[in-house]
Amino acid sequence: MLIIEQPKGIRLIQEYLAFKNAQKSSMMKLKTKSYSFSEDIRASRPFQWVRHPTEQGYRVAILLLSDILALAGAWQIARYLNQFYSPLPPQLVWWSWFDIPSLFWVFVGCTLLLFAKGNLYSVPKSSQNYLRTVKLISSVYLLSLVLIYFYDPKVDPPRSLFFTAWFSSVVFVLFGRLVATLILGQIQTRKPKKPIFIIASASQLPKLIQILQRRSQYQVVGVALASTANSSTTLNSILASKAVEVLAEDLPQTDLASALYWNLRRTGITLRLLPSSREILYRRGVSEIMAGLPTLRVETSLLVGWDYRVKRIIDFIGSFVGIILLSPLFLIIALIIKLSSKGPIFFRQERTGLQGKTFYMWKFRTMVNNASQLQSQLEAHNESQDGIMFKMKNDPRIIPFGHLMRRTSIDELPQLFNVLMGQMSLVGPRPLPLRDVEKFQAWHHIRHQVVPGITGLWQISGRSDIQDFNDAARLDLFYIDNWSLNLDLDILVETARIVLFGKGAY
């Protein structure tokens, strides 16, 4: 019997063990009945693609509508700008629909097919791959030049129309998908809880159950030990639980590592794995047979470091433009703080940055002037489980306007100056006060190997709801392991959604 603190966790594990023993005979019947598979392990059950129509239907519909409207708007603008001096050749207008030439509908069909093939309508993270979106749109336009030439070498499509439509399509589709992501993200938070099945070691099961119950939109409907992950009993338990997702950790070594994946895939159940840092590195590799051995080749790009240079350029331009556009808001906030509370407008605190170097991070002041001195008196009320971070939901030091600033995160806006000076980035691990860093374990300092940021995976994955710093540190390490420009953009979009709806901030 597993002993854990959470009563509900105890019940779930006990129910699983009882289910495993008491229902063993009925599970064998299920195995020989509807859940017995004798065909290829990769084959799906009949009509499996309609398993979760309501779950993915809204996402596909919204993204499809967004893409079609964006492409239509791009073409209409391109036609309007070019109709007077460089119209579309009549040889390329086979019919018109809704006053839009046939060539547009061919472009739309090809683009949507490539998007579907590129998984841009599937799971949220794939649909938010903005760099892939740009590549696929560009592929359609470049391929069209080749096809038009072979269709009729004498036809010369207007270059102004071509490049205007190309550029407009990229901008409009990206903007439409950014807006759709904000809408879909908010719909996601209001959906009923998903039934999920957990497979993990005995020591990890209680913790995973607690995390899912506290932070997410999931309902744990069953559990199994990792050592039994590939057994038919566990598979039938998953099917009988009606789970739509399985979360697995520490799966045992088997000759066919993907056995659980294929068994779940054919029934339409999503598998989520909690990876180790080694497995994350594996994902960066390219499968390749070398000397008859299956290997993963992990190599660097020809343009080594250019993606990071682009990140720093985006940081500089984004912070500079942000400061200019938000300067009126800065003045209003400064005036409100000055009139509502005694003390300076800004709060400056020493934080730990890149490679452990300290710098002063700027914020709008949200607390009384002597908040730092009062913190020692409030340490006993710290709500952080490990005591590394100081968190107090009803902190008495917060000034009246401070609650609104913290809930909307506008108190963080002065950090754009830190970004402009190169001390911080728009996206990265959050820099922490010296008081917190002094309590770090050795592995926590790995997060200091990259430039700290205004926002990061920690902020979009729970913010103040994360009470254990180890969980926050793992998110930072996951960010470092998986960093890409697209991940940064994804985090910025999700941050905007969270800030707009004030989730997890206090």
Q: Which of 187, 216, 129 is nearest to 501 (CA)?
A: 187
Band of residue 135 on the pLDDT scale cut at 50, 70, 90 = confident
Task: Assign 413 to helix, strand or coil.
Answer: coil
Crossing angle for the helix pair 24-32 and 7-22, nearest 10 degrees?
70
Q: How far is 143 from 110, CA to CA, in rounded Å?
A: 10
Q: What is the rounded average pLDDT for all residues in the chain?
A: 77
What is the mean predicted confidence (pLDDT) over 440-446? 88
Instruction: Examine the pLDDT at 252 and tell me if it is beyond 90.
Output: no
Question: Among 49-53, 86-90, 244-248, which stretch is predicted with the lowest mean pLDDT?
Answer: 49-53
pLDDT of 291 over the 60 cut: no
Average pLDDT over residues 19-28: 45
Radius of gyration of the chain, Cα coordinates, nearest whole angstrom: 27
Query: pLDDT-derived band of residue 1, with 50, 70 and 90 as boundaries?
Result: very low
84 band by pLDDT with thresholds 50, 70 and 90: low
Please give the model's pTM, rounded to 2 decimal places: 0.66
- Say if CB 367 and CB 344 are below 8 A apart: no
User: Cα–Cα distances in Å, from 346 out to 140, 195, 224, 369?
Assistant: 50, 46, 52, 10
Q: Provide mean pLDDT across the span 31-42.
A: 51
Q: Which residue has the tokens 């470049």?
A: 142
- Consecutive H or E run containing 94: none
How far is residue 51 from each of residues 42, 54, 63, 266, measured CA to CA in Å? 17, 9, 20, 11
pLDDT, residue 3, reads 38
Q: Which residue has the higher pLDDT, 47 or 446?
A: 446
For residue 282, the model assigns a pLDDT of: 72
Burial call 224-240: b when 16+ CB within 10 Å, e when fewer? bbbeebbeebbbbbbbb
Are the CB atoms for 411 and 363 separated by under 8 Å? yes
pLDDT in tens, 467-480: 678 888 888 888 88
93 pLDDT more than 80: no
What's the rounded Cα separation, in Å, for the pair 125 and 461? 14
Q: With pLDDT > 70 as the criterion, what percentage of the chain qualifies?
A: 71
Given a cut of 80, whether residue 293 has pLDDT beyond it is: no
Give the residue among 117, 119, 11 at the shortest CA–CA distance from 56: 119
Higher pLDDT, 110 or 453: 453
Q: Is the pLDDT of residue 416 over 90?
A: yes
* Span of 260-269, 299-308, 405-414 with lowest mean pLDDT: 299-308
Query: Band of the pLDDT at 219, cuts 50, 70, 90?
Result: confident
Confidence (pLDDT) at 6: 46
Kindly list the distances between the CA atom of residue 483 and the CA atoms of 72, 197, 388, 480, in Å, as whole numbers in the listed order: 33, 29, 26, 5
Return the minimum-mean-pLDDT range out of 111-120, 157-166, 297-306. Answer: 297-306
Mean pLDDT, rounded, for 160-177:
83
Residue 376 has pLDDT above 60, yes or no: yes
Contact (Cβ atoms closer than 8 angstroms) between residue 431 and residue 350: no
Most trustworthy range by pLDDT among 228-232, 257-261, 414-418, 446-450: 414-418
Class of residue 189 by CB neighbours under 10 A (exposed 0-12, middle 13-18, buried 19+): exposed
Higher pLDDT, 97 or 487: 487
Dig out the tokens for 182 from the structure: 């904000």
Calpha distance 488→170 (Å, rounded): 19
Using DSSP bridges, classify how beta strands 293-297 and 286-290 pair: parallel, antiparallel or unpaired.
Answer: antiparallel
Element (H, E) at 265: helix 259-265
The residue with greater pLDDT, 18 or 494, is 494
Predicted pLDDT of residue 232: 86
Does residue 465 surpass a pLDDT of 80?
no
Q: Note the pLDDT tens digit of each residue in 180-218.
A: 877 777 666 666 778 889 999 888 888 888 888 776 678
For 325-374, what is each residue's pLDDT tens digit? 999 999 999 999 988 888 899 999 999 999 999 999 999 998 887 777 67
Spatial separation of the C-alpha atoms in residues 338 and 384, rounded to whole Å: 31
Question: Which residues, in sequence order, are CB contacts of 245 under 8 Å at separation 6+?
Answer: 194, 195, 196, 197, 218, 269, 270, 271, 272
Specify the pLDDT at position 22: 45
- Return the pLDDT at 5: 45
Q: How far apart are CA 437 and CA 439, in angstroms?
A: 5
Closest by alpha carbon to 71, among 164, 175, 172?
Answer: 172
* Helical (H) or strand (E) element with 96: strand 96-97
Q: What is the pLDDT of residue 111?
A: 86
Mean pLDDT of 436-464: 86
- Secondary structure class of 346 (helix, strand, coil): strand
Pick the most confident of 116-125, 152-161, 269-278.
Answer: 269-278
Q: For residues 303 and 481, which has the higher predicted lDDT (pLDDT)?
A: 481
- String of DSSP letters for 171-208: HHHHHHHHHHHHHHHHHHHTSPPEEEEEEE-TTTHHHH
Q: What is the mean pLDDT of residues 484-501?
A: 84
**What pLDDT was estimated at residue 31?**
42
Query: For position 303, what pLDDT does the model report?
Result: 61
- pLDDT for the residue 158: 66
